[in-house]
A and B are shown apart, each in its own frame.
Chain A
Amino acid sequence: MARRGDSRRLATLLTPATLFLGIFFLGPLAIMVVYSFLEPGLYGGVEWNFYHWNYGRILGWADGEWEDFDPVYVDIFLRSVRLAFTTVVITLLICYPAALWVSGLSARWRTFAVFIITLPFFVSLVVRLFCWVLILRPSGFLSSVLMGMGIITEPIDIIFTETAVLIGMAYVLLPFMFLPIYASIEKLDRSLLQASSDLGASPRQTFFRVTLPLTLPGIAAGAVLVFIPSLGNFIVPDLLGGAKVVMIGNLVEQQFLSARNWPFGAALSVMIMLVMFSLIIVYLRRLGRAEVRA
């Protein structure tokens, strides 16, 4: 029931956040998009002319005079997508059984398990990655232990490889996959599993025909939540991939902090943003359809 003064109160509550997010969130994103269509200045900075070769340089219609098309950008983009996708698969394979395990515990242990699994998520990203630097470098923990046990004689060099990047990425993004899957398993109607086995389905059949399809929304949510931050990540490839595993995030960072070609960097991040938006839209569409069906 609308009373007098309601709309004024609503306006009071909403205005500060609206202004703030409008100016400092939507504003910067809009300016970044504008920048991606500007001409890079000779000594850093920008010229305020419309310039579409920034995208041409990435996708292949560069003018060949100032901007050269270099397939390396497409390669880096594809590599980032591949690594982000692999991270999704790895975290899924690690987290699904773990979520099954936690949901099978007694109520008290369940709360405790969720607590200790999410706890490291609150630790600074850089600290969690430092742990892996310490473990994976040639004079690190892994090599020392394996050599001490006599399994290997030479230090192994995992750091600065795609494997190292994938390990680090999976480690820091684990909770984003675990929590949605766990939530969807928790929501699962146990009587359906009972019904399935009563009707003579084997545990394997029950899992693949009942449990897995019903927890698919959780998997989808986890996949989106892991894919997006891994795609644009530059800290993990920087610390664990070095110069050998360059991802799109590293490219953006270089454009802004060392190459000083801001329009080009802006164009690259617009592309990351587009991938993100298309993923979210697909996800929301599918979710909407799934809810209609349910």
Chain B
Amino acid sequence: MKIPWMKRLLSLYGLLFLVFVYAPIMVVVVYSFNSHPVNMMVWKDFTFDWYWSIFGYPTQLNEQTLYVESTDQLLAAVKNSLIVASSTTAFSTILGTMTALALYRYRFRMQPFYQGLLYMPMVMPDIVLGIALLVFFVTFSVKLGLMSIIVGHCTFLISYVFVVVSARLAGMDDTLEQASADLGARPWVTFRRVTLPQILPGVVGGALLAFIISMDDLVITYFIAGVDSTTLPVFIYGMLRRGVKPEINAIATLMLAFSFIIASLGLYLRARN
């Protein structure tokens, strides 16, 4: 049995751990409402003005400082991110699910090869994959743009969907499929009426994961984004490199809220099943 004081010490540590995880995020959120125009870390007043200014509305602060270079660029980056993330999600969810079904359902000689092929993109360092794709696209004169980003994201997101769907398949009841086949249902009907409803939570979970990773990807996109196809993380990274500005607080807070909502939704769906 553990001694009580050790348990208490462990609980105390746990709380400290949570503080370490959340405090940095809270700093950004809190200071995104700070109206001090010069020193971001000196608290002056509560304001929503940074939020208004990133969307291009004139505010008192905005007139003094004119920090955001271009709201249009920011919105274009958001739009690009959404286009990329939704296309990649659709494509990688379909391919990932198909592959998971194939590897789960059938036994064949190339199986270990496929396992390796599907795990490799997940462990490949981002920078290696990013420059490999860049070299590839340039060698074959593929124009860098949204299309190249979508292709690039799919190379590793198929694997993520594959893993999530495979986990779901592993816990599935095979007898239902057999019953359906024995009762004369054609394979496609069995898939749509029996298999798909059972693996759907896995598919949705995989899709959400793919969406969020695609939205957040910085390194790979950084190398293969063309001049006019900047995504949101790349845009913010560029802004950060040029200097820390109060608007970034507001943008970061909005992104935090967005990620939290999507992630909570995904985890909620998983918990419900």
Interface, chain A (partner B; CB < 8 A) = 5-6, 9-10, 13-14, 16-17, 20-21, 24-29, 31-32, 35, 94, 97-98, 100-102, 104, 111, 113, 115-120, 122-135, 137, 139-141, 144, 171, 174, 197, 203, 224, 228-229, 231-235, 238-239, 249, 252-253, 256, 262, 265-266, 269, 272-273, 276, 280
Contacts and interface: CB of A to CB of B under 8 A. Distances in A.
Interface in B1-34: 1-3, 6-7, 10-11, 13-14, 17-18, 20-22, 24-25, 27-28, 31
Interface of B: 1-3, 6-7, 10-11, 13-14, 17-18, 20-22, 24-25, 27-28, 31, 39-42, 95-96, 98-99, 101-102, 105-106, 108, 114, 117-118, 120-121, 123-129, 131-136, 139, 151-152, 154-156, 158, 187, 212, 215-216, 218-219, 223, 232-233, 236-237, 240-241, 244, 248-249, 252, 255-256, 259-260, 262-264, 267, 271
B131 A130 contact: no
Given A31-B135, A104-B10, A130 B236 contact: yes
A285 B256 CA distance: 40
A119 B3 contact: no
A249 B127 contact: yes
Most B CB atoms within 10 A — which of A100, A116, A141? A141
Contacts of B263: 119, 122
B240 A239 contact: yes
Contact of B24 (A132, A144, A273): A132
A149 to B, nearest CB: 14
A139 B114 CA distance: 51
B10 A273 contact: no
A126 B212 contact: no
A123 B251 CA distance: 12
A263 to B, nearest CB: 10
Contacts of B126: 229, 232
Nearest to A131: B24
Contacts of B96: 17
A135 B30 CA distance: 13
Given A126-B237, A273-B125, A131 B132 contact: no
A178 to B, nearest CB: 9
Nearest to A229: B125
Nearest to B136: A28
B237 A235 contact: yes
Nearest to B152: A24
B155 A10 contact: no
Contact of B39 (A20, A21, A139, A252): A139
A29 B131 CA distance: 9
Given A25-B155, A124-B215, A127-B256, A117 B18 contact: yes
Given A116-B18, A122-B263, A235-B237, A6 B106 contact: yes
Contacts of B125: 228-229, 231-232, 272-273, 276
Given A10-B108, A20-B154, A32 B135 contact: yes
Most B CB atoms within 10 A — which of A27, A124, A235? A124
Contacts of B218: 124-126, 235
B233 A126 contact: yes
Given A21-B121, A31-B135, A126-B237, 19 more contacts: A10-B102, A17-B96, A17-B158, A26-B117, A28-B136, A31-B139, A94-B20, A97-B17, A98-B13, A100-B10, A104-B10, A116-B21, A117-B17, A122-B212, A122-B216, A125-B233, A130-B236, A197-B1, A234-B219
